[in-house]
Structure 1
Amino acid sequence: MRITRTLAVVATALATAALGSAGPARADQVMEGVYGYTQGDVVADWVIYPSCVPTVGDLRVNLELPVACRLHVAANPSTKVAGGDARLTNGVWTFSTNKKDGLTCPDGATTAPIVETYEFDDRTMSGTRSVSFSDVCDGQVAANILTYPFTLAYKGPLPIPVDRYPLYCEPGGLKRCF
């Protein structure tokens, strides 16, 4: 009887540990601040601020960790680097942007549309920028996807301080958090 009870306790502890580690590796931290973007000789700043929405639980307990986050990435419009709203997919933040005049044709006078996709890992602070386009410029440029690696480096906090967590939730029926 004692061996069975001990095995049950060990099995329960192992199951709890496995379930506890199944979540995101760093749910307590979401990128926020000013980051330096470097892609070869292209250097720019990204201002990244998260918006997180409580989507789980019944909100009777204060929320200490960010959930359901989206990163708003703002870039200086004068650079070749885009900005957008990044979502976490398979551990990588991703956003895409369309540029109507993103590719200059060989004649130098006309342009063609492109789609840029940025994917980055907030743990390694590195990512890729993919530029895709279809057959453009009257058939002079064939469809292609060009991929460029980039790195990110934290430069400082957001210009305006933001209090994110914990969210304090009202008791009772309204379930509003602030």
Structure 2
Amino acid sequence: MVTVMRALAAAVLFISAPVGLAVPAAADQPMEGSYTYTEAGLPPATWTFSPTCVPVCPVSSPECTRPFGAGGPTGCTLHMSSSTAQHINRDEREMNFGATARIVNGMWSFTYPQPEGVRCPDGSYALSTDTYAFDDATLTGTHTVTWTPQCGMQAGMTNTPFALAFNGPLPAPVTRYPLQCNQFGVCR
């Protein structure tokens, strides 16, 4: 009797676990939801991702139901917003922005111009170009900051690793595929 009860309890847990737990997107699905961004030297931020996709199907396909090509979510973009709990200092203000990420060389990537991205020798700040590239399977990436010769500095670049941690799903459902496609790959 005890063995039967244990087996039933294990079965209930096994079946109900996927329903009750929110998890990050699988590698074959675009990221969606809220994530905590952490990078050494910067305040933590909340990154929120909302995908938009166009089905990718070969013209010879009898029906356009396969949303992804080989290697993951092709035809998708991630609309991302970054926010911090406070906006008191420069680092916190700089972590509040929005961007659109696309797959580049197998990684989600976006570039964002930071008006006060690098500190000049005189203590003022100058424009930088920040590029974020990350792997949705490992939730790790690299933040690359580049700048041109300005305010007494030579051109330069830094690369800093960062990590993402899944917080939860979006509060409202997202229509990932707003376009309807026919068997010839024509979408409307």
TM-score (norm 2): 0.66
Question: 1:27 touches 1:65 (CA, 8 Å); kept in 2?
Answer: no
Counterparts of 2:127 and 2:117, CA distance in 1:
5
Pairwise CA distance, 1:56: 2.5
Question: 2:34 touches 2:166 (CA, 8 Å); kept in 1?
Answer: yes
Which ranges in structure 2 are unaligned for 5 or more consecutive residues?
Answer: 1-25, 69-73
Over the matched positions of the two proteins, sequence identity in percent amounts to 39
Q: For each residue in 1:15-36, what CA deviation from the matched residue of structure 2 results, as whole angstroms up to 9, or x when unmatched? A: xxxxxxxxxxx66311000011
Please give the secondary structure, in 1, of the residue aligned with 2:44. strand
Q: Point out the more displaced range, 31-40 or 48-57.
A: 48-57
Say whether 1:47 aligns with 2:48: yes
Rg larger in structure: 1
Residue of structure 1 equivalent to 2:30: 30
Counterparts of 1:152 and 1:93, CA distance in 2:
13
Shift in CA distance, 101/167, structure 1 to aligned 2, threshold 3 Å = closer
Say whether 1:145 aligns with 2:132: no
Which ranges in structure 1 are unaligned for 5 or more consecutive residues?
Answer: 1-25
Shift in CA distance, 30/73, structure 1 to aligned 2, threshold 3 Å = same
| Matched residue count | 148
Question: 1:34 touches 1:155 (CA, 8 Å); kept in 2?
Answer: yes
Pairwise CA distance, 1:155: 0.3
Question: Aligned runs of 1:1-178 on 2, under 5 Å?
Answer: 28-40=28-40, 41-57=42-58, 61=63, 63-66=65-68, 67-76=74-83, 78=87, 79=92, 80-81=94-95, 82-108=97-123, 110-137=124-151, 139=152, 141-164=153-176
Letter in 2 for 1:133: W
Letter in 2 for 1:121: D
Question: 1:65 touches 1:166 (CA, 8 Å); kept in 2?
Answer: no
